[in-house]
């Protein structure tokens, strides 16, 4: 699934060039609502979904920038171990699963809409940041 990105103000002076971590997020009734003012400690339109088996948020690797954009070099996988509706993902610089510290670089809904998942499913997420 690809994330429809929204940059957040919290990331204005931060750099994601060296990678970051992905976190999945869930909104049980509809697609997540992301606001430019969202931070890792304050984001009322969405909540992090921690029902995946990895002990920390997965690490992201980026390809070289090209034509004004930067994308993940491969999909980031989440091994689901719960039943939920997952609506998107975010990029942050803190790998603590469920943590609220660190910088929120970007967040957004999946371009394909919400995904209902159950234990045993895998979600593969790609991300592209454009100028």
For residue 26, the enclosing domain spans 3-130
Extract the runs of DSSP E, i.e. beta strands, from 8-130: 20-26, 47-48, 59-60, 69-71, 76-79, 84-92, 104-110, 115-117, 122-125, 128-130
Chain segment 26-40, per-residue pLDDT in tens = 544 456 788 888 888
Pairwise CA distance, residues 47 & 27, whole Å? 7
| Residue 7: pLDDT over 90 | no
Q: How confident is residue 10, by pLDDT bands cut at 50, 70 and 90?
A: very low
Domain count, the chain: 1
pLDDT at 120: 95
Pairwise CA distance, residues 3 & 130, whole Å? 12
pLDDT at 91: 87
Say what the pTM is: 0.80
Chain segment 70-127, per-residue pLDDT in tens = 888 888 888 999 998 888 888 888 889 989 998 888 888 888 888 888 999 998 888 8
Pairwise CA distance, residues 95 & 92, whole Å? 8
Pairing of strands 128-130, 104-110: unpaired
């Amino acid at each position: 699934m690809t994330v429809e990105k929204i940059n957040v103000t919290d990331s204005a002076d931060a750099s994601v060039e060296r990678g970051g971590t992905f976190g999945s997020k869930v909104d049980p009734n509809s697609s997540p609502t992301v606001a430019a003012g969202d931070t890792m400690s304050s984001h009322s339109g969405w909540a992090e979904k921690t029902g995946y088996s990895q002990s920390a948020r997965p690490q992201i690797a980026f390809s070289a920038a090209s034509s004004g954009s930067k994308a993940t070099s491969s999909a980031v996988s989440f091994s689901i171990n719960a039943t939920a509706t997952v609506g998107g993902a975010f990029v942050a610089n803190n790998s603590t699963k469920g943590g609220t510290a660190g910088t929120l670089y970007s967040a957004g809904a999946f371009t394909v809409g919400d995904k209902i998942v159950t234990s045993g499913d895998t979600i593969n997420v790609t991300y592209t940041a454009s100028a």
